[in-house]
Amino acid sequence: MAHLASRSVIIALASCMLTGLSAPAPAEAREVVAFRDGNFSAGTVVIRTNERRLYYVLGDGRAVRYPVGVGKAGKQWSGATMISGKHLHPDWSPPAEVKRDKPFLPNLIQGGSSKNPMGAAALTLMGGQYAIHGTNMPGSVGGFVSYGCIRMYNADIVDLYGRVGVGTRVVVTR
């Protein structure tokens, strides 16, 4: 497996260690819905933390809606950013905060491993601290479960990965 070229990308992805349940979940849960918020143009990713939903705005009053896992208490954030990188089967290194909480974790988990919490793909966000990514714990999607990253079903992150590019605007609201 190819390693991510940049240590900073691994560090960014590392901040996404998530806790969660292991209950089975659907392979995909996206659906096209009405989206009439005129504040967002087509191609924007909107994450509504309180709903635990991510919207990819299609325009014409429609969006693709995905269920997501979001930051647990004390780890939620809001604001506008953009996608700074796209990675398939990324490696993952736990950041210091996660290592402190879970010292048994290895320093690196290879991409594609069933133990890698990043899942099938990751979209890193500008600033390097958070990502929108897949998961190895699908039962946690829909909960308040992460250290601040946005967690999706693997089939859904692969779908979103194909729709967005580097530079895509991302807005997170509470």
Pairing verdict, β 79-88 and 169-173 = antiparallel
The whole-angstrom separation of Cα 174 and Cα 169 is 17
**Listed residue (15, 47, 28, 10) closest to 138, CA to CA:** 28
Cα→Cα distances 149→34, 37, 133, Å: 25, 24, 8
Please check whether residue 148 is in contact with residue 75, taking contact to mean a CB–CB distance below 8 angstroms: yes
Residue 87 annotated among the catalytic residues of the structure: no
Q: If you write DSSP's letter for every residue of 18-81 in order, what string do you get?
A: B--------S---EEEE---TTS-TT-EEEETTTTEEEEEEETTEEEEEE-BEE-TT----EEE
Cα→Cα distances 174→74, 78, 91, 127, 171, Å: 13, 6, 29, 19, 10
Candidate list 16, 87, 89, 149, residue with the active-site label:
149
Residue 133 annotated among the catalytic residues of the structure: yes
Catalytic residues: 133, 149
